Structure 1
Amino acid sequence: MENAHMSNGKRNFIFSLLFLGWIVDSLTLFGMNVAIIPISKELHLSQTQSGMVISSFWLSSACITLIAGWFADKFGSRKVIVISVFIISLFSLLTGMVGSFVAILAIRLILGLGDGGLPTGSSVAITEIYKREVRARVKSMLLAAQLIGGVLALYISGLILDIWGWRVMFYLIGGVGLVVTLLLFKYYNPPKVVKTTLVGNIYPKIPMKDLYKSKFLWLLVIMYFCSSIVHWGFSSWLPSYLEQTRGLNLKTVGSLAMIPQAFGLLSAILTGYLIDKSLAGKEKFIVLIGAAISGIFLLLMFKAPSIQLAITYQSIFSFGESAIGMAILSIPLKYVSQNVIGSFMGTMYFSGGLAGVIAPTAMGALIDVFEGSFQAAFFFLIGALVVVIIGAILFKFPKNNTSIFESNSLEVKA
């Protein structure tokens, strides 16, 4: 039941603070994808080492998601979110001070702890603040924040790197993030949620072993893992691809990379809206269509004879790829009980974090092995999309669209 004591104004204000936290996170995340070019030159990193710098972020991010999910289920989302944004902001600032491969690897490893807690805590926050019927749209707005941050990071990074260098970029992101942290600490107070049955009894806790026996969970995990391989592998190496293969400078790389990000942003918002309005229960078909579109246009992008065609194909790829992620992430918010949503989403984000560890390093290694060619790396991503398609074909929704791990339960927000 939606909280009757919470006004729409307060609900939207709380969400706006969460939105800002996501933008800060994506600024440091996507900013590194451009900054790694001058960082690699200054610190004399190989392609594999560059991939490791990006992947180290995801290693710790993946490890913390399971803990963050359990913690958010038990204590609510506030502590998880405030601590996460603080870590992201502080260690973004410290990134600008590093002077060696080992140092930047360590900083990014710690920074990933914050990134791992934020999406998991946010998923719990959505269930604390909003009723089921609008959660896909709300989730799409958080993904939109990530994509908006990505657009800003790519454009602003290109400008700042060209004028002041990569260190100043991380000082600015970290400073803005610390301000957002203070706002969250002071004003972010979502309602507490009490889970009860229809007869008023507190709903029993679900043993973790029962959660991990669920085929529903593991099919979603596999699909999200493979879609994340595509998302993080591609976004991590796109700036380097445009610079090394297409011969563009950093400023141009940042400007052109904004266009596909904008298409991804549009796709996330549109997909979330359609799922809530008319496509609930049809999410698997969105995944199937999105994966097919992504695979076809990823291949066309690689073979495009001109940069204009490459960006056009990449924009269509981003539209399909963003629809995949939005559809997969909206399913638990609609069909999984409030009692275990944090742990469920934590498991999914853990798989996404593992993908973030594997994809950039694997692609960097493939590029090194094939002496600078990106062909094998792109086929690696297409293979992951094939697995997403197979998972979507096998996926089945709960009977009668009932909630997973919930029986005749009613959510009461206090």
Structure 2
Amino acid sequence: MSELHTQLSVGKRNFIFSLLFLAWLVDSLTLFGMNVAIIPISKELHLTQTQSGLVISSFWLSSALMTLLAGWASDKFGSRKIIVIAVFMISLFSLLTGMIGSFMAILAIRFILGLGDGGLPTGSGVAITEIFKKDVRARAKSMLLAAQLIGGVLALYLAGLIADTWGWRTMFYIIGGVGLIVTLLLFKFYNPPKLIKQQVAETSNGRPMKELYKSSFLWMLVVMYFCSSTVHWGFSSWLPSYLEQTRNLNLREVGSLAMIPQACGLIAAIITGFLIDKGLAGKEKIIVLIGAIVSGLCLYMMFNASSIQLAISFQSIFSIGDSAISMAILAIPLKYVSQKIIGSFLGMMYFASGMAGFIAPTAMGALIDGFGGSFQAAFFFLIGALVIVVICAVFYRIPSKNSSLIDHA
């Protein structure tokens, strides 16, 4: 079965995609805002480093579980319902985060908020295939990653500024309020184009879902994305605390300096998506290999840097490699996987990413506690994950077009 996009003006497509872009901004404001807010929250609630890691990780556990359901639902019902519900949950429970007063309360709120977050990436992956043709999907995906990184830049700066001026609770009230407005816009205007389905001759056994879960292609990508996400979410979760505790910066300084690596990652994501669409399709593994090696070296040099200026420089280069890795891995299913199962395929990948987001912050918090407040063991944990990414990138292969996993168009 193949799909043809209904005729729709460029302006209409861009407007629909801009609403999706706003949804990702809201989600990333919530996500990265907590990475800064956890500093005053931990002090107010007297949390250990391990407990602080659990606050961040609780969000990712529920997000990971939801991705599997969201993948199936997106394949069956399309992206609209999934995305609208997801953004509503993210916004409402961001608002409620500002009202908590105990460790258990914030764990519960963040867990429920994660259910909304789990639906957005998978639904958005399906939305890209609904809105865009194959030859521009990597660029479209890079723009959503850019939205996440722009949200990260804004969150890191504004969270530090707002938390330092009015308190961390005000930050979540503002994010939640903005998110509810975006939810209304999505509900009223987000109507992605339908796909016209046509039957074509199958060269496989016609059972792509059965083949999906037996595919070494899927599991290699899942492991690779799990390890790269371990690095991404572990690093981004603990970077503000690292700057505050090890480099002795205040909240405003933390937010301002942490923006620089995020901005570099933003640029790298956009450029990588453009290059994959224009000439590097089929060479994604080379991007992953180079990105993983550069990122690992920069992590090592960052925590050994003699000055904050050097540390930020290495963080910025790390973020370039990190964004290139994520963009290349996510472009692979968008470029090659059959439309019939793209939601379920991405659901498995985002499940892996969510589990990495659950494990990495807690593991790093435990390592920091276990080594007397030193971040060195935590950074070596991330470098080890990058080594696995390199190994997977060397051995992964795209299935032949005789496979029902692969788009025959």
Q: TM-score, length-normalised on structure 1?
A: 0.96
| Structure-1 separation of matches of 2:345 and 2:30 | 26
The residue correspondences of 1:172-191 to structure 2 (distance < 5 A) are 172-191=174-193
Tell me by how many angstroms 1:191 deviates.
1.6
**Residue type at the aligned position of 1:30:** F
| Structure-1 separation of matches of 2:76 and 2:184 | 24
Q: Please name the residue that 1:344 is paired with.
A: 345
**Deviation per residue, 1:83-130 (Å, 9 max, x gap):** 000000000000000000000000000000011000000000000010
The residue correspondences of 1:41-60 to structure 2 (distance < 5 A) are 41-60=43-62
| Structure-2 separation of matches of 1:17 and 1:363 | 35
Tell me by how many angstroms 1:409 deviates.
5.1
Tell me by how many angstroms 1:207 deviates.
5.3
**Residue type at the aligned position of 2:87:** V
Question: How has the CA–CA distance of structure 1 residues 404 and 115 changed in structure 2, closer, same or farther, with 3 Å as cutoff?
Answer: farther
The residue correspondences of 1:16-165 to structure 2 (distance < 5 A) are 16-165=18-167
**Residue type at the aligned position of 1:381:** L
**Deviation per residue, 1:283-319 (Å, 9 max, x gap):** 0000000000000011000000000000001000000
Kindly indicate whether the alpha-carbon contact (under 8 Å) linking 1:206 and 1:339 is maintained by their aligned counterparts in 2. Answer: no
Q: Please name the residue that 2:404 is paired with.
A: 405
Q: Please name the residue that 1:273 is paired with.
A: 274
Q: Please name the residue that 1:357 is paired with.
A: 358
Count of aligned positions: 406
Kindly indicate whether the alpha-carbon contact (under 8 Å) linking 2:71 and 2:123 is maintained by their aligned counterparts in 1. Answer: yes
Question: How has the CA–CA distance of structure 1 residues 109 and 371 changed in structure 2, closer, same or farther, with 3 Å as cutoff?
Answer: same
Q: Please name the residue that 2:263 is paired with.
A: 262
Q: Please name the residue that 2:326 is paired with.
A: 325
Q: Please name the residue that 1:236 is paired with.
A: 237
Question: How has the CA–CA distance of structure 1 residues 225 and 43 changed in structure 2, closer, same or farther, with 3 Å as cutoff?
Answer: same
| Structure-1 separation of matches of 2:93 and 2:361 | 21
Tell me by how many angstroms 1:403 deviates.
8.1
- Structure 1 gap ranges (5+): none
SS in 2 for 1:274: helix
Kindly indicate whether the alpha-carbon contact (under 8 Å) linking 1:198 and 1:408 is maintained by their aligned counterparts in 2. Answer: no
Tell me by how many angstroms 1:397 deviates.
2.0
| Structure-2 separation of matches of 1:407 and 1:229 | 27
| Structure-2 separation of matches of 1:27 and 1:287 | 27
Kindly indicate whether the alpha-carbon contact (under 8 Å) linking 2:4 and 2:197 is maintained by their aligned counterparts in 1. Answer: no
**Residue type at the aligned position of 1:250:** L
- Structure 2 gap ranges (5+): none
| Structure-1 separation of matches of 2:205 and 2:6 | 24
| Structure-1 separation of matches of 2:131 and 2:4 | 8
The farther-off stretch of 203-212 and 181-190 is 203-212
Kindly indicate whether the alpha-carbon contact (under 8 Å) linking 1:336 and 1:403 is maintained by their aligned counterparts in 2. Answer: no
| Structure-2 separation of matches of 1:142 and 1:265 | 10
| Structure-2 separation of matches of 1:291 and 1:28 | 27
**Deviation per residue, 1:324-363 (Å, 9 max, x gap):** 0000000000010000000000000000000000000000
SS in 1 for 2:197: strand
Kindly indicate whether the alpha-carbon contact (under 8 Å) linking 1:334 and 1:403 is maintained by their aligned counterparts in 2. Answer: no
Tell me by how many angstroms 1:386 deviates.
0.0
Give yes or no for the alignment of 1:378 onto 2:375: no
Identity of aligned residues (%): 75
Tell me by how many angstroms 1:22 deviates.
0.1
| Structure-2 separation of matches of 1:295 and 1:250 | 27
Kindly indicate whether the alpha-carbon contact (under 8 Å) linking 1:195 and 1:339 is maintained by their aligned counterparts in 2. Answer: no
**Deviation per residue, 1:49-94 (Å, 9 max, x gap):** 0000000000000000000000000000000000000000000000
Tell me by how many angstroms 1:210 deviates.
2.0
